[in-house]
Amino acid sequence: MQTNATRRRTLRLASWTLVAAAAGLVGCTKKTVAFQGIDITGAEYARELKLPDADGKVRSLADFKGKVAIVFFGYTQCPDVCPTTLAEIAAVKKKLGADGDKVVGVFVSVDPERDTPQVLKAYVEAFGKDFVALRGTLDETKAVAREFKVFYAKVPGTTDGSYTMDHTANSYIFDPQGRVRLAQRYGAGVDAVAHDVKALLDGA
């Protein structure tokens, strides 16, 4: 038969057990976010990116850890999609204020024949001094595009030797741990992209 003191100790132990269990549940619960972009967390692609930047330094996804990286494939003579997307990234960085310094735009050229390092450097720096431009050989470009499931192809122009490039218009967004998390549709808008980037910076 339990005494009053024993019953009180039993109740206290049960209470602490419940508190500890609740704390454990809180600690294991991850905040869920309704992303505006397409959630591709755990994708078996877009995991490797290793190309020289405009200064000739080989860069990889590991270089951008600690930041949210927005990776976009395009070319400098693109008349619409590319400058619009890079301008959107610049606007997202501005909208996020101090957190904008934790966001890096990464532009991968699909036209290395015309996009020389000098051309690329000047092009991306027009959108922000901390933007990164990457340029590989023709074979390296094909391999990276395949890894990211990015399509691109030359389209003959109206004069001999001239051409434009058809290419995938989506961007890929990586979290601060260097994991691909989102595929962002072209023209999603500054507010939508900023919302998703902020969520990733906050640990989503």
What does the pLDDT look like over 17-61, one tens digit per residue? 333 333 343 444 456 779 999 999 999 999 999 999 999 999 999
Q: What is the mean pLDDT of residues 131-156?
A: 98
Helix 81-95 to helix 190-201 angle (10° resolution) is 50
pTM here?
0.84
Find out whether 60 and 49 touch, Cβ atoms under 8 Å: yes
pLDDT in tens, 166-184: 999 999 999 999 999 999 9
- When mean pLDDT is compared across 18-27, 69-78, 121-130, 190-199, the lowest value belongs to 18-27
Give me the chain's average pLDDT, please: 89
Q: Is the pLDDT of residue 188 over 90?
A: yes
Q: Is the pLDDT of residue 139 over 90?
A: yes
